[in-house]
Structure 1
Amino acid sequence: MIEILKDPGVLALPQLDPATLRMDGVALGSPAAGVPRHRITEAQSSVVARYRGGDDIDSEYHDADGRRLTLDEVIDHTVGADGFLYCAEELTYKVRAGLVVGFAVYGAPLARFAHLTSYEELLAAFGTPDRVREEGSYGDFEGYGLYYWGARKHVKWDASHRRVTLINVGDFEGNAGP
């Protein structure tokens, strides 16, 4: 198994086999209960009907009846069902039916790719994607989403900051093809 936090360069491989990856010791397909609980800072699950949070706001979770949920309750539900587990290290685990089915890496862990300062350098490092999607909001071009279907990988390129801002691997929308 390849630990992507110890060797993030492996994420650039266009023919990456997701079944060989671990993130912080947790392999794709393994039980979500194995995600280091002390690192989880937020969670998203269907038990949450209303969420409030942000950079300077403590997260609040409420169920459909308006009862406030603790983070531990939301984590417990997520690891046994579907959702996302967010860690302070800018790592996210996608969970389905209690199993980890995807990893997302963003922010500081992507420093390994900081030397890529042009879209052309990105393509040279990661290879030709199976699909490229222009991304933007309100009609403004912001960058590209590159999809590598064999590797079940998505790489997001921020054109204005000229950097990789997200890499996700596994069962995320678009990663397995059209």
Structure 2
Amino acid sequence: MIEILDNLDVLYRPRLDLTTVEMNGIALGEPATSVPRLSIIQAQSSVVARYHGGTDIDSEYYHADGRRLSLDEVVNHAVRSDGFLYCANKVTYKVRAGTVVGFTIYGPHLSHFAHLTSYEDVLAAFGRPDQAHEDVAYGDLMGYDTYYWGAQKLVRWDAWDHRVSLINLGAFQGNTGP
């Protein structure tokens, strides 16, 4: 198995067999309970009807009946069903039916790609995408989402900060084609 975080260059590949990679020792297809509980700082699950949180704000989760949920309750639901497990080291696991089906990498890990200072650099490094979408808000270009179906990968380019801001692999919308 190739540990992605130890070999970020593997993410340049336009074709990647996801059965050969893992992130923090977790492979796609493993039970979500394999994600170390102590590393999870936030979670998302269908048990949450209302969420309050953000940068420098403690997360609060609420059930549909108005009852406040603990992080442990949300994580317990997510690892048995569907959701996302956000970890302290700026990686996220997507969960479907209790199984890890996707990885997201962001934050300091992406400093590996800091030399890519333009969208043209991204295209030269990662190759021609199978599909690309401009993200435009109020007439301003926010960035590009580039999809590589042979690797089930999205590379997001942030046009304001001139950097790769997110890479995800696996079962995310758009990663396998239209």
Matched, 1:67 2:56: no
Q: d(CA) in 1 for partners of 2:147 and 2:111? A: 20
The aligned counterpart of 2:161 is 161
The aligned counterpart of 2:170 is 170
The aligned counterpart of 1:13 is 13
User: Which consecutive residues of structure 2, in runs of 5 or more, have no partner in the other structure?
Assistant: none
**What secondary structure sits across from 2:72 in the alignment?**
helix
1:98-124 deviations in Å (ceiling 9; x for gaps): 000000001111111001112222111
Matched, 1:27 2:27: yes
Matched, 1:134 2:134: yes
The aligned counterpart of 1:88 is 88
Query: 1:67 deviation in Å?
Result: 1.1
**TM-score with structure 2 setting the length:** 0.97
Residue identity (%): 64
Query: 1:138 deviation in Å?
Result: 2.2
Q: d(CA) in 2 for partners of 1:137 and 1:41? A: 30
Number of residue pairs aligned between Structure 1 and Structure 2: 178
AA in 2 matched with 1:88: A
Moved more, 134-143 or 40-49: 134-143
**TM-score with structure 1 setting the length:** 0.97
Q: d(CA) in 2 for partners of 1:155 and 1:56? A: 26
Q: d(CA) in 1 for partners of 2:177 and 2:165? A: 21
**What secondary structure sits across from 2:150 in the alignment?**
coil
Q: d(CA) in 1 for partners of 2:58 and 2:142? A: 30
| RMSD (Å), alpha carbons | 0.9
Query: 1:33 deviation in Å?
Result: 0.3
Q: d(CA) in 1 for partners of 2:157 and 2:37? A: 30
1:43-96 deviations in Å (ceiling 9; x for gaps): 000001111111222111111111111101100000000000001111110000
Query: 1:160 deviation in Å?
Result: 2.2
AA in 1 matched with 2:84: F
Query: 1:132 deviation in Å?
Result: 0.9
Q: d(CA) in 1 for partners of 2:149 and 2:131? A: 8
